[in-house]
Each structure stands twice: as C-alpha cells, then as structure tokens.
Structure 1
Amino acid sequence: MSAQKRLVWPDVAKGISILGVVLLHIGIGVPEGESTWLYQLNTWLDPLRMPLFFVVSGYFSTKVLQFTLRDVLVKRVWFFLVPYIIWVSIELWTKNLEWQWVFGNEPLTWRELGLNLVLGHNMGWFLHALIMFNLALVAVRKLHPALAMLLSFTPILLLPLNEHIFFIGKALMYLPLFFAGVYFRQAITAFVDAVCRLNVPALMFAVITYAVGFFSRDLWNQFTGEVVLPWYLPGMDYMGSQEVLLLVRFVEQTFQLPMALVMAVAIARIPYVSSFFAFIGRNTLPVYLGHPIALTVGYHYVQIVGQWEISMDGERLVNTTWFWTFVCIILSGAGGLMLWSISKVPGIGWTVYPPSLRQLQEMVMRPPVLRSEPCRD
C-alpha cells in the first residue's frame, strides 16, 4: 500500500464515524426518523462507527508513549479541553433553553454545567473520552504492552457506577479499542496493507469476525426477559440486562472492527467519495461540536414555534419525516461549517483550535515594543 493510501483511510474512517453520529442524532430527533432507510442503514453501521473512531485515534497516539504527564497535558489534553469546555457549554445552554420552553425545566446552573462537563454527560462526550484515554495511556506508558492492554479493561470494575456515571460504559467499550490502536498499530497497518492487496485470508478474517460479532448480538436480541447474572465484586449483587448489554456490545464491536477497517479502506479507494469522507474526517471537531447546536436552534426551536405534526405519512411536505430529515442534514452541515468558519476568524478561532501553550507563553512573555517618537523642540 502506498504512503498516500495510509494517510487517506484513517481520515475516511473518522469521516464515516462522525457522519454516522450526525445521522443518529437526526434520526432520533425527527419524529419517526427511525423508520427511514437512512436511519436503518446507519443502524447497520452502529457497531462499526465509534469503535473505528477510537481505534484510529489510538493509531495516531503512539507518540504519547514517549510523553511525560506534562507533555500530554500541554500537547494533547489542552487542544481537546478548550473547545470541549466552550462549545459543549454553549450546546448545553441552548438545549436547556429548549427544555425550559417544552418541559418547564429550571435554567441550567453553573453546578449542573460543571458536573455535566466533568462526567461527560453531554453531546461532546467523545472529547471527554479522548482526554481521559490519553491520560490513561500516559499513566501506563512504562508498563509492558500486554499489561497495559490488560489494564485497559479495568473500567469493568466500575460497572456498578454506570447507572449514575455514563462514562463508565463508554470507557468499558472504547478504552480497550483506543489502546489496541496504540499497541497494535503495526498489526493494523499490516492488515490494511493486506486488504489493499485484496489478500483473501485477510478479507475472510474480516468476514468471519464480523459474523461472530453479528450473531453474538443477534443471540442477545433473542432474549426478551430480564437477564440476571451474579456479580462477585463490590458495588452490586448482580448484573442486570443493561450491564450485560454493555459487555455484549463490546464483544460485537470488537469482532466487527476488522470489517470496519475493510470498509474504510474500500471507500478510500473510490474517487471523489473518498475525498468527501476524508475532508469530513479532517474536520471532525467542527462537525461534531457544531451540528447539535445547529439542530437545536434551527430545528427544535423552530418546531416549538411551528408545532407541526410530523410523520412518515404527513399530508403536506412540511408534515413529513423525510422533509425534516433533509432539513436537519443541511442544518448539521451548516453547523459544522459555522464552527469551521469561526476557527478561521482571528480573535475567536482559538475557541475551536486553541494555540499551543508555548505560543501563549511567548505572547505573554514577549517584551513590549518601544516606539521612538520624533524629537520635540
């Protein structure tokens, strides 16, 4: 595989992941959006979407193994933390305003905002996860890779807290995959190379593992009653259906990951289509942070005023699910474009892509320039 291809497929992978998230939010936001074929297609991609994103993120995080804690705070966490605090706060305030109008909720307090940000209970949870995952990686950087991978599964020990801290479930499903991207980088590169050569064993491996993941989830879906399994650690007496489902989803996503890589590589080889997904992948931050704000303001606020009855069989265009689905797609694109444009504006662009702390330090420490004045009589 050429060096160029190795640069394209990760961007395509991130583009697929973020667009899938956007379509998910549109599908659950528009009445009967789950009934559209677009949403159903995205449901099929669900096990591939976020695992692919976090594996690719880990794939490009191997340099963290050479970082100190200070390095990771300055060179990684800082760049996630600034847009996370600013734009997720704006998203939470705009959403809370909607809930005030619709449900009569109380205004968002500073304490509630702080808890949301600290716990990752918000639409920007993936940035929160990247911050925590990078800190976890630098904490184990001196350990043997096998031991580090084993420690990536420790969120399961906190499973009893998942009911109150949703990030526990996210860490359980995605931290091992992030670490896999780091420690199995060479294996992933070799697999992608084999896929690009249309190596039959590699492709068969992807098909077989995808089938294992698919049928493991399908087997789980056959159960209609409450599942109860014993829990031998502190915090709870047994695992219920929600806790077991997290483990099932982890198994499903992990086994289907090779097929996700095959999909990313295949799309990366399609002219024009690959350019579109790669462009989105290179701008995941504006798209991810901008689209929920645009959907809240451009769709939900408008619905509060218009109060249209929306369904798949709506009599008028403005009453149909598909009409508002397309409107929300346009709004999501506009939201991403809005944040991308803001990132280019001097004075406020730092809210999306903050300057390095070294640049800020140089600006603060730079001595003032003394301007000479003409002599006066």
Structure 2
Amino acid sequence: MSATNRIHHIDVLKGIAIFLVVFGHTIRQTESLVFIYSFHMPLFFIISGLFFNEKKFQNFGDVIIKKARTLLLPYVTFYVLGYLYWFFVEKNVRPGLDLPFYNPLVAFLYGSDIGEFKSVNGILWFLPALFAAESILYLLLQLNKRILIIIGLIFSLVVAAVLSYIKTLHLPFCLGASFVAVFFMGVGYYGKGLLTLDLAIKKRIIYFIISMVLFVVTFKVAQYNPGINVKYAGLQNPLLFVVTSFTGSIATMLLAFAVFKMPLLEYFGRNTLYFIGFSEPIKRVVIYLSAKISPLSVEELRSSVPFSLGMVIVCFILMVPVIFIFNKYLFFAVGKRKKKIAV
C-alpha cells in the first residue's frame, strides 16, 4: 500500500474520531452519550500510538522539548484565546460563568477543572494529558524488552483503574487520563500493522460489515457501564471499559478503512488540533443561538439526535475559517515551523 493511500484512510479515521468528540460534547441523549464516551478517547490514544516513533528523539530531554512545542504551546495559545473570549464575552451573558477573573487561571495552571476552579475550555485537558502520556511511553520503550514494556503498559492501566476507584483524586494535568492513554497508546504502537491492511474493495466491504457488528456490540455493552469520564480516569467498570474501548475503536478504524477516501472528512482529520482548541466555545455559541431562534429549549435541542447532529454540522462549518487562519497566518502559535494549508 502506498503512503498516499495510508494518508487517506487514516485522515478519514481522525475525521470520524473528532466528529465523535464534538457530537459527544453536544448530545445529551443518554444512550448516544454513553455509547460515544465508551470508546472515543481510547480511540484517539490508539491513533496517537500508531504514529509514535521513539527513534525520532535523541533522549528524554528531546521528547520534552519537542512535545512541549507541539502540545503545550497549543495548550497555552488556545487557553489564552479562550480566556479572553470568556472574560470579555461569555462571562457576561451566560449564567453561572460570572466567576472571579483568577478562577479559570487556576484551572489553566492545574491543567483541568479542580474543585471550584473552572476551565474556559473543557477539551484542552487532552493536550497536557497527551504530553505526559507520550513522555511516559517513551520511557517505557527504553526498557527495550517487549515483555517489560507490556507489563509497564498493563501497570499503567491498573493505576488508572485504582484512580477510578478513588474517584475524588483528580491529579494535575489530568495525569489519571495519562495513565489510561499510555495503555492505549501502547496498543496502537504495537498495532502498526493496521496501517497496512489490504484496502481492496472486497476487503473494504467486509471491514464495513464487521464494523457495524462491532458498533452494535459496543452500544449494547456500553449501556451497562455509563458515566465514563476518561478526563478524570473515571472508568466505572474497568473491564467493561476496556471491552468497549477495543470494540468501538476497532469498529471505527474498520469503518474508516471501508470508506477509504472522503475529502471533507480527511480535511477535518488533518486539522483535529484546532477542534481541540476551538470547537467547544464555538459549540456553545451555536447551542445558545439555536435556542434563541427555535421554539425549543437548550435541553430539548441537546436531547434530540437530529438537532444535535445539525448543530455539530454548523460547528464544523464554522471551524473552516479558523483552520484556514491558523494554518496560513498563526501556524507558529501551535508549534508549526512553516505555513501549511490543508487542502
């Protein structure tokens, strides 16, 4: 399979994954919400693991420097912009957000919400958590023996399960989520063979059928394990969480491979970073305006699958100019070294 083909179906996969994230943060219909949360973050971590290459780094210090540029710098940029939007606009129009100016700054330094201190953008936790996870994974891979690395990955999941049991212990920079991430990134790292699956049309039809079956399995099992919140290592039943993480992630991968090419999804898949930075505030504006112009309340809109899908589509449309501006003019603010316009 050529490198070009590989880009097509992996970008489609990333596009589907970011759609699930935005839809999951929009919908309030219980069964759909439980289904999405049962696997959407492990899917992102597996994708990260597929492309993790420890040989790109000279040493651990090099990992810290490079990952700080590509993950922590965007975290700072997005948070500063989100804070300014919150301070000058949102805190004045949304009930419950009229907090002291320093409140979100504490959450920023902590890497997530902590007690009464609220983040201006709940999705941004993913960036520092991924920074920590990739740093930990690099150290594990230095053990060189696969059996030791696998033990380390399992131990990381056990730590996450313990934190899930404690519930009230929310570590800074969402380190609980980082321990979850390390395990699934390791799965992706050792599952690189997925990148070379046969994409012949007959195989893609089979992938689609298997994908649909696995989605049904994921949906059914997920209903027995509601309340998952990877952000705080809230796994509920860790065994069921692992099951739905694998079935849902594999189903999404096979669906992406079956689709193979879809330019619009590929475009969004190449620009998932900006969705982490801006989809949440844009989504809030879309929901607010939708409730103003429709006879339905916010809760009624968010409890409806069709209305939620419509609002998500609007969010994706509004993301296009954001993506263009950052790729063309503000690439340096998210750690990119040169202008790169995704097409």
Closer, same or farther: CA 94–196 of 1 in aligned 2, 3 Å:
same
User: Aligned partners of 2:208, 2:293: CA distance in 1, in Å?
Assistant: 50
Q: In the aligned structure 2, how far is the partner of 1:151 from the partner of 1:108?
A: 42
**Displacement, 1:101?**
4.0
1:283 aligns with 2:271: yes
> Does residue 19 of the first structure (1) align with residue 19 of the second (2)?
yes
% same residue: 20
Scaled by the length of structure 2, the TM-score of the pair is 0.73
Residues 12 and 278, structure 1, Cα contact 8 Å, conserved in 2 = yes
| Shift of residue 26, structure 1, vs aligned partner | 3.1
Give the conservation status (yes or no) of the 8 Å contact 2:133–2:181.
no
- 1:40-63: per-residue Cα shift (whole Å, max 9, x none)? 5x8655545333322121111123
Normalising by structure 1, what TM-score? 0.67
Counterpart among 167, 179, 191 of residue 186 in structure 2: 179
Determine which of 302, 314, 320 is the counterpart of 1:330: 314
Matches within 5 A, 1:1-377: 1-28=1-28, 34=29, 40=32, 46-63=37-54, 66-92=57-83, 94-95=85-86, 98-99=90-91, 101-110=93-102, 112-121=104-113, 122-143=122-143, 144-152=145-153, 153=157, 154-165=159-170, 167=174, 170-171=177-178, 173-186=180-193, 188-189=194-195, 192-193=197-198, 198=203, 213-220=218-225, 244-269=236-261, 274-297=262-285, 299-300=287-288, 302=289, 306=292, 309-311=295-297, 326=310, 329-345=313-329, 348-355=330-337
Secondary structure, aligned partner of 1:198: helix
8 A Cα contact 2:47 2:188, kept in partner: yes
CA RMSD of aligned residues (A): 4.1
Pick 1 or 2: higher relative contact order, CA cutoff 8 A, min separation 6.
2
Separation in structure 2 between the aligned mates of residue 327 and residue 219 of structure 1, nearest angstrom: 28
Shift of 1:89: 3.5
Partner of 2:341: none
**CA distances 1:275-334 after superposition (whole Å, capped 9, x unpaired):** 11111111111233122232344553x579x5965259x9xxxxx996786456324432
> Separation in 1 of the partners of 2:13 and 2:222?
23
Residues 288 and 247 from structure 1, CA distance in 2 versus in 1: closer, same or farther, beyond 3 angstroms? Answer: same
Unaligned runs of 5+ in 1: 29-33, 222-241, 315-319, 357-377
**Distance in 2 (alpha carbons) for counterparts of 1:299 and 1:209:** 31
8 Å CA contact retained: 1:293, 1:335: no
Distance 2:98 2:224 in 1: 43
CA contact (8 A) 2:70 2:335 kept: yes
Question: Who is 2:118 aligned against?
Answer: none
Distance 1:141 1:105, change over 3 A: same
**Conserved? CA contact 2:35–2:222, under 8 Å:** no
Q: Deviations 1:133-177 (Å, cap 9, x if unpaired)?
A: 111112212112332233232333433554342735534543311
Residues 130 and 178 in structure 2, CA contact (< 8 A), matched pair in contact too? no
Distance in 2 (alpha carbons) for counterparts of 1:201 and 1:268:
13
1:104 deviates by: 4.8
Asked if the contact 1:58/1:181 (under 8 Å) is kept, the reply is: yes
Contact residue 343 and residue 353 of structure 1 kept, 8 A: no
Question: 1:212, 1:295 → 2: CA distance?
Answer: 30
Tell me the distance in 2 between the aligned counterparts of 1:218 and 1:328: 23
Rounded to whole Å, the distance in 1 between the matches of 2:60 and 2:176 is 25
- Asked if the contact 1:26/1:328 (under 8 Å) is kept, the reply is yes
Q: Is the 8 A contact 1:52 1:257 kept in 2?
A: yes
1:195-226 per-residue CA deviation (whole Å, 9 max, x = no partner) reads 876299988986776666555434557xxxxx
- Stretches of structure 2 that go unaligned for 5 or more consecutive residues are 114-121, 227-233, 339-343
AA of the residue aligned to 2:134: N
- The verdict on how the C-alpha distance between 1:353 and 1:213 changes in structure 2, with shifts beyond 3 A counting, is same
**Cα displacement (A) at 1:73:** 2.0
Q: Secondary structure at the match of 1:107?
A: coil
Contact 1:207 1:259 in 2 (8 A): yes
Note closer, same or farther for the CA distance 1:333–1:287 as it changes in structure 2 (3 Å cut). farther
Q: Secondary structure at the match of 2:236?
A: helix
Number of equivalences: 313
Q: What code does the residue aligned with 1:115 have?
A: A
